[in-house]
């Protein structure tokens, strides 16, 4: 029993993406990132779109697939300590609305980026590589899997 803990969730990290307004805040954050990059005078529109996509996917990879544990004290006896945020999301249940949203959002951003870069080969390769780095770890077959022992501990 945790004395002084204000939340009723065993692991609040599991429900944060379902909280009210989270998806809107996420979309507005990506939009603001893009507007900031567009306001830099020496970036062309294709470069700004590619940077938006790459920065978004890098942030998504780090926060959802690389960082493990939880910032909260949890009474789960260290189970969350070994899981990434994606693996903790919705208690590990696959194909929930949050998981679908965070899987589809980089794909939509990728389509927008590809369109606005006019399918330039350099931008296309960068954006496709960036997209694959965030989509492959989201596959249900890779839940809890550490390839080559990376991020094992």
Residue identified by tokens 């062309």 is 44
Phi first, then psi: give them for residue 46, nearest 5 degrees: -60, -40
The pLDDT of 72-94, averaged and rounded, is 78
Q: Is 144 helix (H, G, I), strand (E, B) or coil?
A: coil
Is the pTM higher than 0.85? yes
Q: Distance between CA atoms of 38 and 49, rounded to whole angstroms?
A: 8
At 145 the pLDDT is: 76
Task: Determine which of 23-32, 84-93, 102-111 has the lowest per-residue pLDDT on average.
Answer: 84-93
At residue 44, φ and ψ (nearest 5 deg) are -75, 170
Using CA atoms, how far apart are residues 116 and 81, in angstroms rounded to an integer?
41
Q: Alpha helix (H) ranges present in 5-148?
A: 22-38, 45-60, 85-88, 97-116, 121-135
Task: Please say whether the dihedral angle defined by the alpha carbons of residues 79, 83, 85 and 88, taken in this order, is positive or negative.
Answer: negative
């Amino acid at each position: 029993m945790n004395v002084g803990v204000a939340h009723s969730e065993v692991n609040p990290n599991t429900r944060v993406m379902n909280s009210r307004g989270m998806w809107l805040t996420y979309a507005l954050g990506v939009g603001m990132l893009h507007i900031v990059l567009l306001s830099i005078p020496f970036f062309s529109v294709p470069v700004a779109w590619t940077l938006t996509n790459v920065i978004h996917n890098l942030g998504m990879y780090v926060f959802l697939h690389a960082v493990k544990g939880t910032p909260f004290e949890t009474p789960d006896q260290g189970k969350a300590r070994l899981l990434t945020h994606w693996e903790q999301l919705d208690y590990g249940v696959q194909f929930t609305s949050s998981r679908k949203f965070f899987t589809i959002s980089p794909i939509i951003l990728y389509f927008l980026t590809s369109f606005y870069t006019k399918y330039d080969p350099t931008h296309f390769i960068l954006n496709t590589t960036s997209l694959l780095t965030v989509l492959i770890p989201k596959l249900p077959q890779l839940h809890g899997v550490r390839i080559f022992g990376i991020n094992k501990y």
